[in-house]
A and B are shown apart, each in its own frame.
Chain A
Amino acid sequence: MKKLISVYIHIPFCAAKCKYCDFNSYDDIGHLQEEYVECLLQELDMYKDVLQQHLVKTVYIGGGTPTYLTDKLLARLLCGVRERMNIDDNAEVSIESNPGTLTKSKLTLLYQSGVNRLSIGVQSLDDDILNCLGRIHTTKQFIDNYSLARKVGFDNINVDLMFSLPGQTLEKWQETIKAVVALAPTHLSCYSLKIEENTPFYRAYEEQRLVLPDDKTDRQMYEILKLMLAQEGYHHYEISNFAKPTFACHHNLVYWQCQPYIGIGAGAHSFVHNQRYVNEMLPRRYIQKTKQNTRSTVEQKQISYHEQMSDFIILGLRLIQGVAYQEFYRKFNLTVGEVFPGKVDRYIKMGLMEKDETHFWLTTRGIDISNQIFIDFL
């Protein structure tokens, strides 16, 4: 049986840059999209050997805004991808989208090209907040496109939400949750806003022009979210992720379980044979290098044994079910207690972790201050 691998494809284009966003995405290089897509396929060709040896279990096209691409280019990309790898019949093929870039034809094309999981980044269902975030769409556009996607055939849809947003109250947040839940998506990713450097929000925050909910409210928002989603039958399976039974995102689980993946495109990361590779960030340079048929890797690092173990715990603790003792032992031939003596019990004593015979995991309070705990497992 062939080994399994996952593939991530990065699309660095956006119609407009959101004010909180520090991702590798640009709203002024739309003219490069055709060249860029060709380069993605060319880069995949460079992975020919690896891809031949593996069975691809998930594909994730993220951004930026993948649906910013024209229908023609999306079709070219999806066909090209399929030609270049053995995609498992049960594979999860996801694509991220912005509700302001979706049309019936695009949705149909995606569905017919084998995309079976659609992720819609709406962030909020409050038009004032959407406007403040610099989003290009309205709530109505989202709802219309959501229904359209359902109609086209998508039965696994994720919705991205954000909380702790400027001007957001606990009530407004609850309304957003309610409205989203009414649509019954199979998956929800909900992120607490983080002010990142080099964003308009950062500058506004520094100049005290941005009024944000305090940490107390932030945690209340998180609590109410968990409560409401649990009532609706969503399973909280990662710090920021919720899914109806069997709908957890397989691709993202690959990251949290330290399984291998290949990242294609500008700034994409790969993790293969315990090495991490990072591609050239800037699309222009990525294109330049790839056209010369050379890999645009700018960083390559062997992950030490200790770092592998540390990553396994840190990423594993992001999952609500926590880390399986057996799994750790199977992978590293050492027990958690041997590598990190006394730590789990110490955090259990502090009320930040819990354990049973098979797993140990973070408590609610443990999640709230998880970085403090992760530091201890570096």
Chain B
Amino acid sequence: MSGEQQNRIRNFCIIAHIDHGKSTLADRLLEKTGVLTQREMEEQVLDNMELEKERGITIKARAVRLVYKAQDGHEYVLNLIDTPGHVDFNYEVSRSLAACEGAMLVVDAAQGIEAQTLANTYLALENNLEILPIINKIDLPSAQPEVVKQEIEDVIGIEAENVPLISAKQGIGIEEVLKYIVEKVPAPEGDVEAPLKALVFDSYYDSYKGVIAYVRVKEGSVSPGTRIKMMATGKEFEVTEVGYLMPSGILSADSLSAGEVGFISASIKNVKDTRVGDTITTVKNPAKEQLPGYKKVNSMVYCGIYPADGAKYQDLRDALEKLQLNDAALSFEAETSIALGFGFRCGFLGLLHMEIIQERIEREYNIDIVTTAPSVIYKVSKKNGEVINVDNPTNLPPVDEVEYMEEPIVKASIMVPTEFVGNIMELCQERRGIYKDMSYIEETRAVLNYVLPLNEIIYDFFDALKSRTKGYASFDYEVIGYQQSELVKLDLLLNGDVVDALSFIVHRDKAYARGRKIAEKLKESIPRQMFEVPIQAAIGNKIIARETVRAMRKDVLAKCYGGDISRKRKLLEKQKEGKKRMRQVGSVEVPQEAFMSVLKLE
């Protein structure tokens, strides 16, 4: 590739808060560059998954190559790399950013900058990206572009006087955005003759071609037949195909060279072999060192996933395996619960990631599931000097063997209108937060920084945050380490038997309130049985809360004569079907909903 060709490439991403119009803008760029006509275009091409479209979020990174004929008469290749817009996918975002030279920062003209946007902008700055602010939704009656401009200058510290004011929805200012990209985003650099260094920023599994790695070639070039090596994992493969990521699908090419964005396929069987952030080099002429920033992603949040119908265990395993093909961050291993039978302990990047996986299992694979309360990884130091990691409360050693326990903590920044600062402080206090500092972005908005235990935010923190700020708060967090805490395991007993699937680890001070609430919830969701069922919450042998499900008084058919027999039998069979959907816990029948009801306590 000549230097001139490299000069006409622009690699950029879009940073935006949920609903600030990232996908719509991407669609407009596609439309404007003529790759798809408006009629051909399915709304929001980049968000492939139904779930993404519905929730308006991007789960996976994606890239698309656009060709734009600028006014100077030259054709420019614009590589748009879409990034997941959620804190759970922070690492993926950082790798996508590392594949670009510029980042378009889309800000809603009515709402201004949000916490997540800010966090990603800082990430972009760390990666030395040129930031291109764009103010979107100027067609809204509540748009305040001048205020937002000021905010961009104050908060991010970049000049915003001449930023494009656009409406992606109405198609206003799209040409200007394209010009802006060509002008402002630096052309890539990198020696085409140097040993190959290609950054993997995403991958997906294709059932015919195997794993397809999305890469940004930083140095050197790669073509089919080259033997390549993954520098982090050490795995070697032979390239079968390279090419570009077009909106309509992939397009084969002879080679990919420094500065370009595209795909490499090399009969790779497992997405785990193409880890995001890894560097691909050649076996023959390897690069001396890999690109900076690679790290192995670890699951932060765990929960048990069980098939509602025990017979679907194998289906659930298949579903998880298939999901994992495209999602290296999902981990799972078989586990058994006395209450729920055979299932899997699954690890996720965060809460959203967990919800997405749960929803995809139910929707795309049509399997009803029961999930247990989410857990973090606790570090348990035992009296015998051993330190173990516990991601399932059931595996916590007996109290008398435990010297002390540690839990993960996060640095959280919450951006909120000043009128709600009090509410947020109260909420963080309730969640054992430690106040760090507060700064004002502008007169009416503040950023609060807290240190919070991760286990306090994995339940319903986000919901609580939204409900106490009328939905105005935005929130970002990052795990910063572990701290020693007074943690206890809270068990729930039905008719005297511990229900393992309901156990969880909680701070000692909150155990009583939580125990009482869960006992109440269970009482509501467990139907009357043939006998009285005591519900108890316990720490060790100490009962801290008790409720009772009274015995069923009456379930009897008064009349049963000749003509009734078959009809009544059908009724009994229906009743039996209903029972089948219940879980037998000791002698107690517990509906699936009961396990889920304890997950939402507010």
- Residues of A whose CB lies within 8 Å of any CB of B are 8, 10, 24, 191-192, 194, 215-216, 218-219, 239-240, 252, 254-256, 261, 263, 267-269, 271, 276, 278, 301, 311, 314-315, 318, 350, 352, 367-372, 374-375, 378
Contacts and interface: CB of A to CB of B under 8 A. Distances in A.
B555 interface: yes
A368 B565 contact: no
Contacts of B530: 350, 352, 369, 372
A276 B560 CA distance: 15
Contacts of B560: 239, 255-256, 315, 318
Nearest to A194: B558
Nearest to B574: A375
B556 A192 contact: yes
B553 interface: yes
Given A215-B554, A255-B562, A314-B572, 12 more contacts: A10-B563, A192-B554, A215-B553, A218-B553, A240-B559, A256-B560, A271-B565, A311-B565, A315-B565, A368-B556, A369-B555, A370-B556
A190 B572 CA distance: 22
A263 B564 CA distance: 12
Given A371-B572, A378-B576, A269 B552 contact: no
A199 B567 CA distance: 17
A375 B554 contact: no
- Of all A-B residue pairs in the complex, the 7 with the closest CB atoms, nearest first, are A215-B553, A191-B558, A371-B555, A269-B563, A375-B576, A215-B554, A369-B555
Interface of B: 530-531, 552-563, 565-566, 569, 572-573, 575-576, 579
A188 to B, nearest CB: 13
Contact of B554 (A24, A218, A255): A218
A298 B294 CA distance: 72
A370 B555 contact: yes
Contacts of B573: 378
Contact of A371 (B553, B556, B561): B556
A374 B553 CA distance: 16
Contacts of A218: 553-554
A235 B450 CA distance: 76
A268 B556 contact: no
A276 B558 contact: no
B556 A367 contact: yes
A192 B555 CA distance: 11
22 contacts: A8-B562, A10-B563, A191-B558, A192-B554, A192-B558, A194-B558, A215-B554, A239-B556, A254-B562, A255-B561, A263-B563, A268-B563, A269-B565, A271-B562, A278-B566, A311-B569, A318-B560, A370-B557, A371-B572, A372-B552, A378-B569, A378-B576
Contact of B565 (A192, A255, A371, A378): A255
A4 to B, nearest CB: 15
B331 to A, nearest CB: 41
Contacts of B562: 8, 254-255, 261, 263, 269, 271
Most buried by A among B531, B554, B569, B576: B554
A252 B566 CA distance: 16
B556 A375 contact: no
A352 B170 CA distance: 72
Contacts of A215: 553-554
Contacts of A276: 565-566
Contacts of B572: 314, 371, 374-375, 378
